[in-house]
Chain A
Amino acid sequence: MSERKNKLIQNLKVRVLNEPYLIINIFFAGVILLIFAYSGIFSPERDNYPVACIHEKLTGQQCISCGLSHSFSLIIRGRIEEAYKWNIYGMRIFLFFVAQLILRVLFSLSFLKYPDTRKQRIIVDCIGSGLMFLITFWPFIVSILAGILSNSH
């Protein structure tokens, strides 16, 4: 029984190592989990976040993403209203990361289960994730573009 289990794990390991898509998915899932861990470890009460806003330090002006770490920490602790006060876009970015974590697991499982439609699945994943990214980060992208246009002349 244990020999069969070992063989299965070994087989899965080899399959995963042979597939870049699966490695990338595992890495992204890990990064997202690290973001959640960061939000959970550092508390908004202590205000002990190691990453400060570089934009604010340089220019002295708050940027559109200021308060995002506070917002994430508050969402993880279930204080949604306070999270909105810290950063209005905190919730949608948090939901994007949650959705991406779920999608990484689902796409990886379907990739292993249905080998015939792998290419189509990767294309759907790339387009879907790209659109999700654009919708989620659209206000940030707009602010960057506005900054470039207003400072170019």
Chain B
Amino acid sequence: MEEVKDNKGQNLGIAALITAVITFVLAVIPCVGLIAIIPGIIAIVLASVGLSQAARSSSPRGVLLAGLIIAIIASMISFSQIFVAGKIAQKADKWPNNIQNILNDVQDNVTKQLEDNNVSIKIESNGNKVEINTSANKKDKEKTLEDLEGTDTQKSDSIQKNDSTRKHVVVRKKK
């Protein structure tokens, strides 16, 4: 009867090769490719330990080397997937900022529209009616100012740049 060969590191080599091939198949499937790094590292460790054992007893190293090479390639593929997924997730993180910007724009638009609106307040008490009409419109305000001052205002908006700051200045000219 034949005896089982006692090749040091051979069993580890078989385990490493099997783990490495399974890691390789997992690594190229994007759904599970990210977790393939775990068996990949296990396969590398098994192959390395097996290689060191084989080096001491000068036993064959073919299976161990095959396992190590496949494990390293599979781990690299898996790691690249982590990198790609990380980049995509990073890009996805920019979305909340974009949404915040859109919300700010909408808020500014609403505020501008409210500024130009007319406000009418009616109070009725014991048959007495009080009606207050006011306008937040800029043009109406200018007209009111003209009526009060008896002047003609000429508006000119200009932009002054002072150390990278901008100021809006309204210049009024008297007739």
Among the stretches B16-24, B150-158, B164-172, the one at the interface with A is B16-24
Least CB distance from A118 to B in Å reads 13
Q: A151 contacts which chain B residues (CB < 8 A)?
A: 83-84, 87-88
Which residues of A99-138 have CB atoms within 8 Å of chain B's CB atoms?
Answer: 133, 137
**Which listed residue (A17, A61, A133, A140) contacts B88, Cβ 8 A?**
A61
Q: Could you tell me if B28 and A58 are in contact, using CB atoms closer than 8 angstroms?
A: no
Interface string of B42-62 (1 = CB under 8 A from A): 000000000000000000000
**Which listed residue (A23, A66, A144) contacts B31, Cβ 8 A?**
A66
Q: Could you tell me if A20 and B4 are in contact, using CB atoms closer than 8 angstroms?
A: no
Q: How far is the CA of A24 from the CA of B63 in the complex (A)?
A: 10
**Which listed residue (A17, A61, A68) contacts B29, Cβ 8 A?**
A68
**Which listed residue (A24, A56, A144) contacts B33, Cβ 8 A?**
A144
Q: How far is the CA of A118 from the CA of B169 in the complex (A)?
A: 92
Least CB distance from A128 to B in Å reads 14
Q: Could you tell me if A14 and B2 are in contact, using CB atoms closer than 8 angstroms?
A: yes
Q: Which of A28, A64, A144 has the most CB of B within 10 A?
A: A144
Q: A137 contacts which chain B residues (CB < 8 A)?
A: 25, 28-29
A15 within 8 A of B: yes
B85 within 8 A of A: yes
Interface string of A10-35 (1 = CB under 8 A from B): 11001101101001100110010000
Q: How far is the CA of A20 from the CA of B21 in the complex (A)?
A: 14
Q: Could you tell me if A144 and B2 are in contact, using CB atoms closer than 8 angstroms?
A: no
B99 within 8 A of A: no
Q: Could you tell me if B2 and A58 are in contact, using CB atoms closer than 8 angstroms?
A: no
Q: B63 contacts which chain A residues (CB < 8 A)?
A: 20
**Which listed residue (B2, B4, B13, B31) contacts A63, Cβ 8 A?**
B31
Q: Could you tell me if A20 and B14 are in contact, using CB atoms closer than 8 angstroms?
A: yes
Using A15-B2, A20-B13, A53-B31 as known contacts, say yes or no to A58 and B89 having CB atoms under 8 A apart: yes
A59 within 8 A of B: yes
Q: How far is the CA of A54 from the CA of B25 in the complex (A)?
A: 16
Q: How far is the CA of A54 from the CA of B4 in the complex (A)?
A: 43
A148 within 8 A of B: yes
Q: B residues engaging A (CB < 8 A)?
A: 1-5, 10, 13-14, 17-18, 21-22, 25, 28-35, 63, 77, 80-81, 83-89, 92
